[in-house]
């Protein structure tokens, strides 16, 4: 556990190695956070929720750092406004790294002490580890957003996300599932976020899930067929968002307009040619939903997605490791869900309105972080995450 934890902590630092110092405070929009902030916030999480309460003699960080690096925990006090995280040029990266070392040392001390086996400590350490993994993905998707706003279109790393898709066309197939009473949600041992439980029964009618993700070429057909100009394909809210923001293609597609000109996309490896067979990515729930309607299909519910995997795992391609997959399910608590008491209970439970669930995991998700029961969630207009879609009917 300690070794894994320290390895995850180490990986966070290696993620910023390819960056220029000026990139460390880059915040492209209110929803995103600068790389340095992610490094500090994940450290604050251990400092505040694990070390201060459980490690005797541990001295917590400066209260102003608490103010700066608390993300959204009301119970942990007031916070610096999220849209202005980019102005926090201080503490410097050196100070953050020093803090990280101090926290790593304290974690080592705590987790090798006689207290280490206490359930609270184990659970919080594990939560902190998975929290840090989540922020590793956030760091990269926030960076892609920030880089995409620059005329120079910097690359994070040459070759980053090169191999998301095959180069040859593949034949997509419907995978059928019988109707019936199923059980979904996390059961048994092993780490999971609170929102993945309780495990519970759900009735499903027969349905089918597509074995492949929708690819760029598919989506190009939607655009060519006037997909962005036909209100009947869209939720009313989505139509007005796209009209207002002028969407004409997925977030990072590049080109100058008509469908056949969308030949490139911006990636962490810089601008490159669109791979027609690669799964389409960085689109909103509204676009995913409109695309599915245009196909005469629909998005799967999260239960359908999970049950299909229970039944036919090997047939469902790219459930993990390519793109998060939008579902038709609003993000709401499972029956019987109760968040933990205290600040940690704010982790997931208070976001259960006006968002949709995504399932699976993405090429940005750290190794070992995904799960079939994992419930990721974003607002239906968000596009900067590594999101794609898979059809159902």
Residue 365 CA to residue 373 CA, distance in Å, equals: 15
Integer CA distances (angstroms), 241 to 229, 244, 287, 377, in order: 13, 5, 11, 19
Q: With CB under 8 A, what is the number of residues at the site for a copy of itself?
A: 64
CB of 277 vs a copy of itself, minimal distance in Å: 30
Q: Which residue is associated with the tokens 């939560």?
A: 127
Closest CB to a copy of itself among residues 173, 350: 350
Q: Under the criterion CB under 8 A, does residue 24 sit at the interface with a copy of itself?
A: yes
Q: Which does 251 bind (CB under 5 to 8 A by kind): a copy of itself, Fe ion, none?
A: none
Phi then psi for 265, rounded to 5 degrees? -140, 155
Q: Under the criterion CB under 8 A, does residue 154 sit at the interface with a copy of itself?
A: yes
Contact positions with Fe ion (CB under 5 A) in 60-79: 71
Q: Under the criterion CB under 8 A, does residue 332 sit at the interface with a copy of itself?
A: yes
Contact positions with a copy of itself (CB under 8 A) in 167-186: 181
Q: Determine which helix (DSSP H) or strand (DSSP E) holds 264, and give its type and residue range.
A: strand 264-267
* Residue in 234, 324, 374, 384 binding a copy of itself, rule: CB under 8 A: 234
Question: Which class for 168: exposed (0-12), middle (13-18), buried (19 or more C-beta within 10 A)?
Answer: exposed
* 172-211 footprint of Fe ion as x/- string (CB under 5 A): ----------------------------------------
Q: Which does 71 bind (CB under 5 to 8 A by kind): a copy of itself, Fe ion, none?
A: Fe ion
Contacts by 314-318 with C-beta closer than 8 Å and gap 24+? 315/173, 315/175, 315/211, 316/175, 316/209, 316/211, 317/211, 317/212, 317/213, 318/212, 318/213, 318/279, 318/360
Q: Under the criterion CB under 8 A, does residue 87 sit at the interface with a copy of itself?
A: yes
Closest CB to a copy of itself among residues 208, 352: 352
Residue 168 CA to residue 145 CA, distance in Å, equals: 29
Residue 5 CA to residue 130 CA, distance in Å, equals: 9
Closest CB to a copy of itself among residues 202, 323: 202
SS3 217: helix
* Residue in 253, 380, 384, 391 binding a copy of itself, rule: CB under 8 A: 380
Residue 47 CA to residue 105 CA, distance in Å, equals: 11
CB of 375 vs a copy of itself, minimal distance in Å: 15
Helix ranges restricted to H, the chain: 2-15, 35-46, 52-54, 63-69, 93-111, 119-148, 216-224, 236-245, 285-294, 302-312
Structure-block tokens of residue 231: 């209100």
Q: Which residue is associated with the tokens 């999971």?
A: 192
Contact positions with a copy of itself (CB under 8 A) in 123-152: 146, 149-152
Stretch that binds a copy of itself, among 7-15, 73-81, 305-313, 364-372 (CB under 8 A): 73-81
Closest CB to a copy of itself among residues 121, 299: 299
Closest CB to Fe ion among residues 86, 128: 128
Question: Which class for 197: exposed (0-12), middle (13-18), buried (19 or more C-beta within 10 A)?
Answer: middle
Nearest CA to 323 out of 125, 101, 165, 158 is that of 165
Contact positions with a copy of itself (CB under 8 A) in 211-230: none
SS3 74: helix
Residue 115 CA to residue 236 CA, distance in Å, equals: 55
Stretch that binds a copy of itself, among 43-51, 125-133, 262-270, 350-358 (CB under 8 A): 350-358
Q: Are 91 and 65 in contact (CB under 8 A)?
A: yes
* 29-58 footprint of a copy of itself as x/- string (CB under 8 A): -------x----------------------
Closest CB to Fe ion among residues 71, 376: 71
- Using CB under 8 A as the criterion, which residues of the chain lie in contact with a copy of itself when the complex forms? 20-28, 36, 64, 67-68, 72, 74-75, 80, 84, 86-93, 146, 149-152, 154, 181, 200-203, 205, 231-232, 234-239, 285-286, 289, 328-330, 332, 335-336, 345-346, 350-354, 356, 380
- Using CB under 5 A as the criterion, which residues of the chain lie in contact with Fe ion when the complex forms? 71
């Amino acid at each position: 556990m300690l070794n894994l934890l320290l390895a995850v902590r180490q990986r966070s630092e290696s993620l910023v190695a390819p960056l220029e110092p000026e990139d460390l405070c880059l915040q492209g929009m209110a929803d995103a956070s600068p790389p340095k902030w992610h490094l500090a916030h994940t450290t604050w999480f251990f400092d505040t929720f694990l070390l201060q309460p459980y490690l005797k003699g541990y001295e917590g960080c400066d209260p102003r750092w608490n103010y700066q690096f608390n993300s959204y925990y009301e119970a942990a006090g007031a916070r610096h406004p999220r849209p202005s995280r980019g102005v926090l040029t201080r503490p410097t990266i050196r100070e953050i790294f020093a803090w990280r070392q101090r926290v790593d040392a304290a974690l080592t001390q705590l987790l090798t002490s006689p207290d280490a086996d206490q359930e609270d400590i184990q659970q919080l350490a594990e939560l902190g580890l998975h929290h840090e993994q989540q922020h590793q993905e956030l760091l990269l998707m926030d960076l892609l957003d920030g880089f995409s706003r620059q005329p120079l279109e910097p690359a994070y790393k040459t070759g980053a996300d090169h191999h998301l898709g095959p180069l040859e066309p593949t034949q997509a197939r419907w995978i059928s599932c019988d109707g019936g009473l199923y059980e979904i949600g996390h059961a048994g041992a092993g780490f999971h976020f609170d929102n993945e439980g309780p495990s519970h029964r759900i009735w499903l009618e027969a349905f089918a899930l597509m074995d492949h993700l929708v690819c760029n070429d598919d989506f190009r057909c939607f655009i060519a067929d006037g997909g962005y100009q036909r209100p009947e394909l869209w939720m009313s809210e989505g139509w007005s968002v796209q009209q207002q923001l002028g969407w004409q293609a997925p977030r990072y597609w590049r080109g100058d307009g008509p469908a056949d000109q969308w030949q490139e996309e911006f990636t962490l490896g810089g601008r490159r040619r669109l791979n027609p067979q690669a799964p389409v990515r960085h689109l909103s729930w509204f676009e995913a939903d409109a695309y599915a309607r245009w196909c005469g299909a629909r998005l799967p519910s999260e239960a359908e997605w999970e049950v299909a995997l229970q039944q036919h795992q090997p047939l469902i391609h790219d459930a993990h490791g390519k793109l998060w997959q939008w579902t038709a399910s609003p993000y709401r608590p499972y029956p019987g869900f109760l968040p933990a008491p205290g600040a940690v209970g704010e982790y997931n439970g208070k976001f259960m309105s006006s968002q949709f669930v995504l399932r699976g995991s993405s090429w940005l998700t750290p190794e070992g972080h995904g799960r079939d029961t994992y419930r990721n969630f974003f607002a239906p207009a968000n596009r900067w995450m590594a999101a794609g879609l898979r059809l159902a009917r």
